[in-house]
Copies of this chain bind each other. A is one copy, B any other.
């Protein structure tokens, strides 16, 4: 049995990261941390799907440039999104000519891609590897729910799919000014019988608690050993349930846990119901905001727990329950 956290020996560094967002995200509290935005979230494209792919492409361009590298230095991309057949990711990366591995983890995709990219650097499958994830409000709404033109009202527990693409370049470096991935724990699916696709936070919270409690128990650490435990993206309802589940398991996370879906919008002034969701949420909050806190040493030792609801529009129509998963990566900054 080897379900313990994987500890990286080579300290795979996060050499750079980029975040590209839409209009609503740019108006939110993390505005200054994002690299690029599109004022109409269209990125000068003629369909929402093409806009999402273009957003992915720009996030790649910025991240590789910020690392001071070229496409030909990149050996592998791990990436995914919410669109059917992960088409936004494929079309965003198709011209970059970098070996490509598509992942599907719903909103957990960014943490998963970060773990896999770090693993590929550790085991020398790649010298430099990329982690990337994206989502777009308008592609997700018409794919999962209703066309925007329909003007459908959302329920209070529903989350707002973030328009955003986040990208990180990983590689080996002896320089001490880069954060590094130190541990990775892939999640186990859980299904607590939630059927309400407008309350995915509730479906994902138990999976998130399961992964964190398993991590703490296997590693012998406590929540207080970390100065940040970021979940992404449970939203306001889901994060509260997650905190309560952890409390019941003997772990008080109130001091150090935050959720990317809560951080990205201002719930008071922006109409976002239970906060942000979508692969692009934790991808941009991590690549923009959290990376900044790490690089400026305001944070030195964090956990990022990506949470995904593994439903589809078809499974919802067939009245299936929602399985969920949470993948954990630990990221540290050198002293």
What is the interface of chain A, defined by CB distance below 8 A to chain B?
A: 1-3, 6, 47, 49-50, 72-73, 75-76, 80, 82-87, 90-91, 93-95, 97-106, 112, 116, 119-120, 122-127, 143, 184, 186-189, 191, 310-315, 318, 320, 323, 325, 327
**Cβ contacts under 8 Å, A86 to chain B:** 104, 310
Measured CA separation A196–B171 after assembly (Å): 39
Nearest B residue to A142 via CB reads: B314
Given A103-B104, A186-B101, check contact A318 B49 (CB 8 Å). yes
Which of B93, B122, B124, B323 contacts A91, CB < 8 Å? B323
**Cβ contacts under 8 Å, A191 to chain B:** 94-95
**Cβ contacts under 8 Å, A49 to chain B:** 314-315, 318
B3 contacts A83, C-beta separation under 8 Å: no
Specify how many copies of this chain sit in the oligomer.
2
Nearest B residue to A86 via CB reads: B104
B99 contacts A186, C-beta separation under 8 Å: yes
Which of B87, B189, B312 contacts A314, CB < 8 Å? B87
Q: Would you give 23 A-B contacts (Cβ < 8 Å), ordered by A?
A: A1-B72, A1-B127, A2-B75, A2-B125, A2-B127, A6-B124, A49-B314, A82-B85, A83-B314, A84-B313, A84-B314, A86-B310, A87-B311, A87-B314, A93-B189, A94-B191, A97-B188, A101-B116, A102-B105, A119-B120, A119-B123, A119-B125, A143-B314
**Cβ contacts under 8 Å, A50 to chain B:** 318
